[in-house]
Structure 1
Amino acid sequence: MTTLTPSAFARTVRGEGPGLLLAHGAGGGIEANYGPIMEGLAARHTVVGIDYPGSGTTPAVQGRLEVDALVDQLISAADAEGLDNFAVSGYSLGGPVAIRLAVRYPERVSALVLSATFAYADTRTELAASIWQQLYEAGQHAVLAAYLNLMALGEPALNALTRAQVHTAAEQLAPVLPAGTSEQVDLVRRIDVRGDLGRITAPTLAIVTTADPLISPSLQRELAAAIPAAEIAEIPTGHLPFAEQPEHWLKLISNFLEQNAKN
């Protein structure tokens, strides 16, 4: 595996206040996944996030990504910004990344927020991710963009668009798919942090996207049930709460972090 130094990872730093680390989803990035709520998060926190290899301006790598390597880079970013303690928000693939971080560094994590996420890929999720990866590697990016609209948007949100709007959205997405898509989706297919769930000690909120075609609500609830004393909140969106209901998503995250802020 090709490795990158911490300085090679594109880093987002915004705001002031208690630390908040962000872990983004596969085929996304900090701006893509958290941009719509960044201003709200940064109003109360020092927000720090990194883009995985092949996302944002972080160079792509040859070979497999590993969850612990991503955790190491997040910790390096926190250290560089002088954050000894912090909350962690993980979205989609960022969920298991955040879980591993919370288990490896329990003394540093004040709270954990997991959105639209999973501990492992069940058969349905693995199938969806395998098609995603195969289409990307075959260069079928226009078809992949249409597939992602189908698999990411909740049914009400998708049906609210005209066929022409869906076509336009796919045309806009296809040329900007991250260069690291294949490696990131491959990690989705392999990752398994079920053994870590019972070891989480930080207060945890699992935000379940109840109309999610990609990561089923039942898989999200299975994760939450295995975390000691985890709270569950629901948001009626597909896999993209930041696109469908950003203000609702921000409120759920912010309220939980405020309730669990360390004095």
Structure 2
Amino acid sequence: MAPDLPGSGGTRDPGRPLTLHDLVAHVVAAARDAGLDRFHVVGHSLGAVAATATAALHPDLVNSLTAHAGWARSDPQLVFQFALWQHLARTDPAAMARMMLLTAMGKEALRAWDRTTFAQVAAALTELLDGARDGLARQSAAGARTSTSPACSRTSPGVADHEGRRTPRPTRMNLGVYMTSGRLSAEAERAEPTVRNKGGPPFRFPE
């Protein structure tokens, strides 16, 4: 199950600034609506932040956590980046689409594309972003305000949103992949190929 976070897809929300607790509430509500008593949670980017907080706030519901490309805190570079995203999301979705293609895709994939592929993918992404201007801008604003401490750290003080509300530290972690200066962190580069729960048995993704 892949729920749309507030600001995405058909998910409705009050339209106010998003908080970390809003994102968690939607994840849990979607899981409960699907009849899930316990579940594995996986997240990418802002979804990784939401997934980490979900595991921290609801350890009774979450079997394991996989967080990809999340962040420990919104440093000045991230705040600057999210401000740019907010501006482009509201004013120039086409430029936003092209920037996302060049920064989110791997070099090998991009070098394998021809001009037609670039044009088609950029057009499709522009159409998608154009229909979600407000939501993407609000998610970008939430990203700038919301920070997590690295979930794998034993000394992690927990998670806080821009209102100062803190959550407990997650107690079980599958895999955390955090980015530093455009490269995988040293911890991620040293990670074993087999994903393991700290304090639990190996977890294998379903085929």
Q: Which amino acid aligns with 1:232?
A: A
Report the Cα offset of residue 208 of structure 1. 5.7
Matched, 1:146 2:98: yes
- 1:232 aligned to which of 183, 191, 202: 191
Instruction: Give the conservation status (yes or no) of the 8 Å contact 2:3–2:30.
Output: yes
Matching residue of 1:216:
182
The residue aligned with 1:205 is 175
State whether residues 49 and 74 of structure 1, in contact with CA within 8 Å, keep that contact through their aligned partners in structure 2. Answer: no
Residue 126 of structure 1 corresponds to: 79
Q: Aligned-pair distance for 1:199?
A: 2.1
Paired residues for 1:48-87 under 5 Å: 48-59=1-12, 61-87=14-40
Contact 2:59/2:171 (8 A) holds in 1: yes
Residue aligned with 2:176, SS? strand
Q: RMSD across aligned C-alpha pairs, in angstroms?
A: 3.1
1:196 corresponds in structure 2 to 158
Q: Secondary structure of 2:87's match?
A: helix
- 1:139-189 CA-to-partner distances (Å, cap 9, x unmatched) read x11111111111111222222223443233212211111241111111111
Change (3 A) 1:94 1:232: farther
Residue type at the aligned position of 2:202: Q
- Percent identity over the alignment is 27
- Cα distance, 1:56 vs structure 2: 1.6
Instruction: Give the equivalent residue in structure 1 for 2:162.
Output: none
- Structure 2, unmatched stretches of 5+, are 150-156, 160-167
TM-score (norm 1): 0.59
CA distance in structure 2 between the partners assigned to 1:121 and 1:76 by the alignment:
27
Tell me, which stretches of 5 or more residues in structure 1 are unaligned? 1-47, 226-230, 235-251
Greater relative contact order: 1 or 2 (C-alpha under 8 angstroms, separation 6 or more)? 2
Count of residues paired in the alignment: 183
The aligned residue for residue 240 of structure 1 is none
Give TM-score, length-normalised by structure 2: 0.73
Residue of structure 2 in register with 1:113 after alignment: 66
